[in-house]
Structure 1
């Protein structure tokens, strides 16, 4: 058997190739086929008598210049306007394909999915409303806190799910009757289905000592938790250098800059949030993470700093603030700060390749990693909110992160490639799966043959590397680039003007790239590799595969929800549209298969990307509940398993809601939907946990309204149970598609013996900053002497 035959197949590989005749996509119609041409394209010519007279005398005839005539404008009317024009309340000429019912005369259609019939009014997969806002988001504080949520967001899916649950509770069918118009009046407001907690206040009710720090024992715990759980997936700081600076700060009378202190406080804030979620016995008082956040805001995210020109430390502060807000379910606030951090990074050119001869290679790599942290964070927030990020791949020349940790860069295996930019391109940048995506045409013309269009790259060098979190981060960034292309090409506002056939072509091309990414995974990052290599590879595997399954849900969601309530023919189940719908549902179930059946929240937070695990669970739960709400029209054989998986997701959400307001809201929304669907479909929910519903979210993040809901399980001692879970999922993928006082360090100056929240240091950032204001290099005046390789 050849090496190619031994390659691990991606989940549901062959969806686009099986039943090839039915799955072939029509070629994209040419631009000319959408244009209206005039019957006369030539200008008038001289009269016959003049030509004859000129010919008889052998004189030259002046031929007038050929002027292209303007096509006449027709005020043609059609008997029935398309869905998009009815929504816009505009005239429909029938010339431009506003919806799926308009196609050029010569285009080829697939049975059932590309017919002349209008799309289902109940379809949330049709992207008709992607270019408009259906409600006034400025009307009150709640709507402004939630903000706009696009079609890609699970909050929008939940909005439609709640509408269907309401129909079910009223005794009507979950699906609208064919021909019934869409009505947004009975849809719940977006903020009513938003499970995030942006309306929760994040300010401290009492004055804060700006330069106070926790005692060394607590500080070390917070710092270690951050380095262990967050830094491997978000390496926005240079671990080796910052650790040395951190030790110097606590062991000597060093006086760091306000920005450095802000970075440290944000690390403490993120670590404190994690400690509370995992119920660590050494955790600080309730709401202590808000105190760290407030200090960082005063030190480096106040009005003066926001109006100053950014430097690298300021970018790190802004990125850490955005990440903290994400981890505390403040998604709207995280979105705004993340955009600020990205703009600051672009200001310093971090989105471009650095060829400066005066900047050390290690410093360049540190800046590259800062950029990719911001990029992946912005991408994640864009996926969660459904908002456009406007970071286009063609504007990025930053090399992908190097797959070695900071302390490994001097090793022989890494040094050769690290210092040779051409070799780095050859072995890394030009062989990852996102390479072809970055050069993919916006309008592919061979969508029907997408299974043959994927480029094959020699990534043997990357796949041969030993495990490291930096290697996992490389593949995470590679996948983020592909998913961002999905957002840009399937959920962009131009899709409302495209026929469904063209969108399917884009989906087919992008599915090939997702499959290629999965095939390029090294063995120690692949789910099919069942060896127990310890907790670190397990955590990396879980994070990558959650991201991958989330990407498949994002890609197939328009197909999943695009259905006609009328009965389908049996042979139409072999269409590409149906296969992608089944892939979406399968991905949601596989995502839930990644976690054990019995909820243990502390284990989940310790082994998974805890800052966004709620997002992944809500994606899976909403997709499965949507399938039940549609009555399993396309996949009736999945009803029983869908009920089982929906109950599993709700049990996990209920367990997580013990100490998370957002999780409590998510559970409540899903529980309402599940119970309404149970009445309509006829399944039992007596085995499900129950609790009183909250009418509104507490306005203070310091409140702990869920103390009566004790978390299940204890802190784990091994990862054996999780390894067995991942082993089961890998087979499915291959076979199927206490309180501490705060210390005030005397070496940190203050201007008031009783400092309050407004206290500001007299120490100049410019004087004590570890960065040179001109070259950007570190000034190690108050840090230990380090080698050149330790520079960021």
Structure 2
């Protein structure tokens, strides 16, 4: 086993050396400039290849492309481990324990959840039957009590629905009230959608402590009840109805909000294919649908498209969308209105009563806002196009076939498009001051801000490279080209630092979840923190006068991850992973005893089992950093 692990590390190092050698092979003269050197000189390395059980293709997560922050964590882990263990690798297994440590560590870089996490819950371990607590009678489960159901439904429509309008809020809430008054519902698919909404609402309620008695297993039970969670697929249909498409999409959204990324990837991709089957991506010239129904179909398509873009950044995997095959317009900034339920018609009196009892959750806020409704959603769709272009141009296998000069120009052009996107936003959309309370909800505006900084990091990340790496690959790089690299790297770092500044100084998880997109804020915190630790690991090459500030900001990230860990297992995993990396990076630059960093690092960053639910996390007692003498570590 030790020899296998050792061989894996050696193969990875040889692959890296081979890649650098390839990148500087041009004419063989050793005087290549940026117009001759391959894009492999910079961060696009390894995008056209994969090696099992190495960064980017670890058994516990599957393939992750270079755009994924988990891939960045894996590669930084490998880089630091090889840096400290270079002498061990050149001797005869004198550091076998260290090799084992790294091999296991690489599998635990992810903060995503998998089926191992779900097996902690009895619902998932069951044979496929409903849990006894659901009290099935005639195949109709007893409804959740109305007070709790209202909390879950309103949480969903207020926090997640504005960014991904998969459903018609007005239509759904009519059916919802009818269901609780009469026990009748339009279809089994509708009831399954209801339970997915309960599952998403339960996660939000748990995070914000909005209701006593909600525990982590609740959302898993609701997901199981909806059919989104189980041993066999419930989504295999011939020609899907719009309702079945919505069910697949909202189930994928549940997995996105709960950080089950592979399941989210599969279901969101299925929803995209369902949309293609129903031709939602094409203009319909003759249709019997009302204007509101047509607008709903537009929003459903763009919602699943936006989810697809989002999950592609999470995973670094190629998108199933091709914009050249899509002809429909963007949605309009109007509220949808329906004369009554589309799939189940109640009496006119009942419809009026339901509309009065349960108005759309955001109508009041938007009615008093100077910003048109759905502005955030539509502007995010424009941002999606820039992100999609960045993924295709900078993070695809063909990128390594370009020259470094081409990559630099792509980075510059995409960053310019991103800046123009921000400049074109309506006044007040990104206003986070206290005087902006009459604008759209804070969490919606924060969503745009976070996505903007995340896109800036993504676009400029290829130029965040070590000086020696570029010098070896491009020995005759021009001064102007070096300045382009430096400027892009600083933009990447500045975006990460500005993102962190959006986090409240008062570290209160509930406040954060209420004022940000709670279902993705962790991703952005990890993304920004990883970028800062990457710079520290490079001996602060791009920001040499900011060492102390970068350490303090990285520590602030750890402080937030530590606080979020109480109710969020992915945050707990991220806290451990980034604590490990920051400890190694500080050790490398001789600042391993930094008091602030030590205060917020996880106390035990040793390698241990992947964490289950927050109440059952255990770790091995061994020290994270081996003794520098016995393990053969050297500066």
- Which TM-score band (shorter chain)? 0.7 to 0.9
Corresponding residue of 2:344: none
Q: Tell whether 2:204 aligns with 1:204.
A: no
Contact 1:525 1:540 in 2 (8 A): no
Cα gap change, 1:407 to 1:638, in 2 (>3 Å): farther
User: 2: CA distance between counterparts of 1:527 and 1:535?
Assistant: 9
Contact 2:65 2:317 in 1 (8 A): yes
| Structure 1 alignment gaps of length 5 or more | 1-82, 93-97, 106-110, 173-183, 410-464, 708-792
How far 1:137 moved relative to its partner?
8.5
How far 1:231 moved relative to its partner?
1.1
Cα gap change, 1:164 to 1:308, in 2 (>3 Å): same
Contact 1:162 1:188 in 2 (8 A): no
Give the counterpart of 1:161 among 52, 73, 76.
76
User: 1: CA distance between counterparts of 2:278 and 2:581?
Assistant: 48
Contact 1:319 1:374 in 2 (8 A): yes
Q: Tell whether 2:421 aligns with 1:517.
A: yes
Contact 2:200 2:219 in 1 (8 A): yes
User: 2: CA distance between counterparts of 1:229 and 1:479?
Assistant: 20
User: 2: CA distance between counterparts of 1:482 and 1:266?
Assistant: 31
| Structure 2 alignment gaps of length 5 or more | 1-13, 88-98, 340-368, 619-635
User: 1: CA distance between counterparts of 2:556 and 2:607?
Assistant: 24
How far 1:86 moved relative to its partner?
7.5
Contact 1:149 1:156 in 2 (8 A): yes
Give the counterpart of 1:612 among 512, 520, 538.
520
Q: What does 1:325-724 correspond to in 2, within 5 Å?
A: 325-406=255-336, 466-527=370-431, 531-534=435-438, 536-561=440-465, 563-564=467-468, 575-683=483-591, 684-687=593-596, 688-689=599-600, 690-693=602-605, 695-697=607-609, 701=613, 704-705=615-616
Instruction: Report the secondary structure of 1:645's partner residue.
Output: helix
Corresponding residue of 1:77: none
Corresponding residue of 1:10: none
Contact 1:197 1:697 in 2 (8 A): no
How far 1:564 moved relative to its partner?
2.3
Q: Tell whether 2:191 aligns with 1:256.
A: no
User: 2: CA distance between counterparts of 1:102 and 1:505?
Assistant: 20
Contact 1:351 1:397 in 2 (8 A): yes
User: 2: CA distance between counterparts of 1:616 and 1:539?
Assistant: 14
Cα gap change, 1:190 to 1:677, in 2 (>3 Å): closer
Corresponding residue of 2:51: 134
Corresponding residue of 2:107: 191
How far 1:309 moved relative to its partner?
2.6
Cα gap change, 1:241 to 1:259, in 2 (>3 Å): same
Q: Cα deviation per residue 1:12-32 (whole Å; 9 max; x = unaligned)?
A: xxxxxxxxxxxxxxxxxxxxx
Corresponding residue of 2:9: none
Contact 2:569 2:612 in 1 (8 A): no
Cα gap change, 1:471 to 1:136, in 2 (>3 Å): same
Q: Which has the higher helix share?
A: 2
Contact 1:523 1:529 in 2 (8 A): no
Cα gap change, 1:247 to 1:514, in 2 (>3 Å): same
User: 2: CA distance between counterparts of 1:374 and 1:640?
Assistant: 42
Q: What does 1:294-305 correspond to in 2, within 5 Å?
A: 294-297=224-227, 303=233, 305=235
Contact 1:137 1:148 in 2 (8 A): no
Q: Cα deviation per residue 1:69-92 (whole Å; 9 max; x = unaligned)?
A: xxxxxxxxxxxxxx9998489xx9
Cα gap change, 1:285 to 1:679, in 2 (>3 Å): closer
Contact 1:149 1:190 in 2 (8 A): no
Q: What does 1:201-280 correspond to in 2, within 5 Å?
A: 201=118, 203-205=123-125, 207-208=130-131, 209=134, 211-280=141-210
Is the deviation greater in 324-333 or in 210-219?
Answer: 210-219
How far 1:246 moved relative to its partner?
0.6
User: 2: CA distance between counterparts of 1:570 and 1:266?
Assistant: 56
Corresponding residue of 1:102: 26
User: 2: CA distance between counterparts of 1:600 and 1:656?
Assistant: 9
Corresponding residue of 2:67: 152
How far 1:698 moved relative to its partner?
5.8
User: 1: CA distance between counterparts of 2:321 and 2:529?
Assistant: 29
User: 2: CA distance between counterparts of 1:699 and 1:633?
Assistant: 35
Contact 1:467 1:537 in 2 (8 A): no
Q: Cα deviation per residue 1:423-471 (whole Å; 9 max; x = unaligned)?
A: xxxxxxxxxxxxxxxxxxxxxxxxxxxxxxxxxxxxxxxxxx9324511
User: 1: CA distance between counterparts of 2:229 and 2:495?
Assistant: 44
How far 1:619 moved relative to its partner?
0.7
**TM-score, structure 1 as length reference:** 0.63
Q: Cα deviation per residue 1:313-343 (whole Å; 9 max; x = unaligned)?
A: 1111111111111111111111111111111
User: 2: CA distance between counterparts of 1:399 and 1:489?
Assistant: 24
Cα gap change, 1:136 to 1:295, in 2 (>3 Å): same
Contact 2:540 2:547 in 1 (8 A): yes
How far 1:597 moved relative to its partner?
2.4
Instruction: Report the secondary structure of 1:524's partner residue.
Output: coil
User: 1: CA distance between counterparts of 2:145 and 2:609?
Assistant: 33
User: 1: CA distance between counterparts of 2:524 and 2:27?
Assistant: 37
Contact 1:322 1:338 in 2 (8 A): yes
Corresponding residue of 1:323: 253
Instruction: Report the secondary structure of 1:232's partner residue.
Output: coil
**TM-score, structure 2 as length reference:** 0.77
Contact 1:653 1:667 in 2 (8 A): yes
User: 2: CA distance between counterparts of 1:104 and 1:479?
Assistant: 42
User: 2: CA distance between counterparts of 1:559 and 1:228?
Assistant: 38
How far 1:357 moved relative to its partner?
2.9
Give the counterpart of 2:34 among 114, 121, 129.
114
Cα gap change, 1:170 to 1:305, in 2 (>3 Å): closer
User: 1: CA distance between counterparts of 2:576 and 2:197?
Assistant: 32
Equivalences, count = 543
How far 1:362 moved relative to its partner?
0.8
**Bigger relative CO (Cα 8 Å, ≥ 6 apart):** 1
